[in-house]
Structure 1
Amino acid sequence: MNDVFVTTADWRTGKALRDIRQRVFIDEQQVPEDLEWDALDETATHFLLYRAEQPVGTGRLLSDGHIGRIAILPEHRGAGLGDQLMRAIIEHAQAQGMDELLLSAQTHAIAFYQRLGFSVCSEVYLDAGIDHQDMCWKASDQVEHSLADIEFISPGRFSILNPDTESEQATRYPEDDPALTPLNEGNAQALLNELVTACRQQLLVFAPEQAAWLFKRRDFIGACEALIARNPKAQIRILLQSVDPEFLSGHTPLALAHRFPSLCQVRRQHPDLPLQAHVQVISDDRGFLMLPKARQRDGFVRRDSADQAKRWGDRFNELWASSQTDPTLRRFLL
């Protein structure tokens, strides 16, 4: 589902986090407010699950590997969103070097967490008046079992139908949302260049070092140069999460900042803020490109999405306000 993705969120500005937990835990499950809101929220890594551009699920990860506050809004349950949310949190935890995870599960959800590799590790106990059991997850236990060999019998000759490339690329998802175009490795470069070409004033790029295959390209650099040529007052802002030495060489967006320092700025996200899994491009106040998981080369593009461009543009500006000029970047730009 290209319209579903998970991202980390800042607790201090994460109104959606609190709204979802208010509805699910306090309003629906009658958890007392003084138990729901605790001091751990200030230091936890929080996650938001978006569906069709709306935040519909949340969860948090503590520094000791405890996962909690997993909630999906009632009207969005039954679509596998909880599974996607949990897998994103587990993936994030492993990226942070956490090989053992813990959670306190309501007993009715035990089977759900078991399917994700968790094992029950306590007796039943009451928490906020609801039956719970502790569950544990270890990376060393997540062993994929090899499939048994099967006997293959050739069906003989058969015809192969190669789908028409143009019609395949024109397919949109979902069918009732023609403004969304699925992005994959085959069409990503063309869609990105199209988005930059449509830009007139401001281009925001978040974490391009996570998708070097897309941004370390001469055609992307050329599209940005064309934007500057079209509008000498255009602004390109590029926010990195980490300064990868490999990203500093070759056809890199950093070269734009070196050549056009007043028009193109490159900074690094504040190191105390949680890392994000996604990559984004926001073109003016309408165009939007998202790779929900940088490691996976698929996502979507919206050419006219004012709401999404504003929401993520505001989030970009928050990160930019606390960002830094990394020493490595400073040396590169001198």
Structure 2
Amino acid sequence: MHFPSMTALRALDAVARLGSVSDAASELNLTPSAISHQLKILENTLGFALTERVGRGIRITYQGERYARDIHQLLASILEAGQRFDGQQVSGRLCISSPPGFSTYWLCLHIAAFQELYPQVELHLISPQAPGDISDQRADIFISYGIGDWPSQHVEQIVKLRYFPVCSPRLANALGGLKSPKELGRWTLLHLFNHSDWRVWLAAANAPGINVHSGIVFSDAHFVQSACIAGQGIAMGDNLVSGEALARGLLIRPFELEIESTSGYYLVVDQLKAERPAVQAFSEWVKAQLSTSAQTLQGGRRTLKA
């Protein structure tokens, strides 16, 4: 499952509060058909029904009502994060350093929402030389990958990562499927930076006979995922990078076993820059957005189909 869109979540919230598609459309400045389309997209993303047909209209299902209540609280949290800076002049240049993987598979899909909240902020997005590098003097705030060891900096974890193997359905079919981790020796392994992720996962899967040093090593998460989707081998995916590709059927998980990584994504800010209104606004926004994404996904997993 990939992260639900903010437009779809707002559509559900409006329909649940106002009781009709037409009223929701009026509030959000959309057409009724656009509201219905957003609800359908959200249902496909979550895997359960949010509405049901009643005569010529619709009503929210029981599961949809429960989900809508959670979404209303989460949307209120995002709004509150922005309102904390009401009365302050949140403007000027804000340069964000973010690893390519995080930027491609999350930040670039949501950054316009921050710009809409703070139109006076001049946004710049750059990539570091390495995922944990915070040496670029141009950056006001870093989204960094690592274990949190950046001395003399304000550090806060924003994403915990879970790892699991992923591959293209085409490759799995071509090789006749994959029944056991011990069969991985006949696959090309795709690595990010080094061999450590595969080494840890194979140990947890009790597959000691696999040559973890075989395969291809990439320097960028986007390269690994592109090669994996193209059927070039089997990669170690995670809950952030691989979510949308799994939801769209571009990748599959051949095994259920997943491991929690000792590394994750952190907000890292120099103490002297941490009090700037634009830095604080972005920090609050990204934490609220990621919290919404994580909780809506968990809500979708917990809820039974209508």
- TM-score when normalising by structure 1: 0.26
> Larger helix proportion, structure 1 or 2?
2
> Larger strand proportion, structure 1 or 2?
1
Greater relative contact order (Cα 8 A, min sep 6): structure 1 or 2?
A: 2
- TM-score when normalising by structure 2: 0.28
> Rg larger in 1 or in 2?
1
